[in-house]
Amino acid sequence: MAPGRRPGIDPFSRRKIVATYERSLRRHGPTVGALKWTDDTAQQERFAQIAEVGPWPGASVADVGCGLGDLFAYLRGQGHDGRYAGFDLSRRMVAAARRKYPDPAARFEVRDILAEGLGGPFDYVVASGTFNLKLPDHDRFLRRMLSAMYRGCRRAIAFNIFHPYPSDAWTAFVDWAGYYAVPRERVLAWCRRLSPEVETRPGVGEQESTFYVRRPDRRC
């Protein structure tokens, strides 16, 4: 391992993420279906909640697990004109994002932020849907990802996450479908290790939340 480089995502998890979403991309093309959202509305509603971490005028953002880069289009549609960088593990997703948004204001890159960091600080570091696919030792993976995101932000991080369903039947379905769900209070505790300024809001679905973790020393 190179000096200053941290351990990256484990090879099995990386292969699982890449294979799952590239298979979906082949099936659905460069649409929200490739990202496993049910429709455009569900994706846009989650973007709107992520964006409430603001303010945004002139702000830079790193989009972790950017997929096709649709957050870039959402932010531009809301009048945000800051620097955007989208990072993903899948080369095919990154190539598709570059074709979909050939805008010089958007930069898309294959990057494992656990190993490589973000390549520089950003005002906001966000992740929408990035943690949905269940991986081995996912709790540890999420904690490491949140730490990496927070290290690279100047103002705040924002992300969404599923929570377990109260019904055993629904819980069994979530497990069968391969989704990751974690209790809200557990995520809150992890976030409060990073910053005393943590806010959580109900997500789009009944068992979902959006989290904002802000730097106490931010200038905005």
Per run of 10 residues, the mean pLDDT along the chain (length 220 residues) is 74 95 94 86 94 93 97 95 96 97 96 96 96 93 97 97 73 64 94 97 86 86
CATH says 11-214 is which class? alpha beta
Q: What's the pLDDT at 22?
A: 95
Taking the C-alpha atoms of residue 56 and residue 51, their distance in angstroms, rounded to an integer, is 8
Q: What's the pLDDT at 220?
A: 59
Q: What's the pLDDT at 185?
A: 95
SS3 87: strand
- Strands 106-110, 84-88: pairing is parallel
Domain map (residue ranges) of the chain: 11-214
Q: What's the pLDDT at 178?
A: 79
- Each residue of 81-140: pLDDT tens digit? 899 999 999 999 999 999 999 999 999 999 999 999 999 999 999 999 999 999 999 999
Q: pTM above the 0.85 mark?
A: yes
Q: What's the pLDDT at 31?
A: 92
Sign of CA dihedral 139, 46, 7, 90: positive
Q: What's the pLDDT at 9?
A: 95
